[in-house]
Amino acid sequence: MTMRESIEFLKRDRRVNSTFMDKLKSVGIDIEYGQYSYWDHQPYIQVGRSIVWLIEEKCEGNSTSSISRMQNDVVKELKIKIEKEVIAAKTADKEVENYFNSFS
């Protein structure tokens, strides 16, 4: 990779954008909207009882703004939350099953 190609590669936008959100939707992940800190109508993904926000706060001096998160950070958090939520759901299902089996 030449220096010019490296620079162009690094300029590529890797933040959450509409294309990334469309890819999430295409694999069955619903994008919902809610209030994040001071900002209304911000995108997030509901994973079981957890939320993965697609934005984050950026603080500069005395001002705070919301910016899109990096795509790879969202994917990493999704993987972790899905794994934890599946374990929690299986545990909850087993507790319910055991409770009703105790009456048998």
For 58, list phi and psi in degrees, rounded to 5.
-125, 120
**What pLDDT sits at residue 91?**
97
Average pLDDT value for the chain: 94
DSSP secondary-structure letter at 31?
P
Whether the pTM exceeds 0.95: the reply is: no
Kind of pairing between the strands at 39-47 and 32-36: antiparallel
Per-residue pLDDT tens digits for 7-30: 888 888 899 999 999 999 999 999
Tracing tokens 């295409």 back to the chain, one arrives at 26
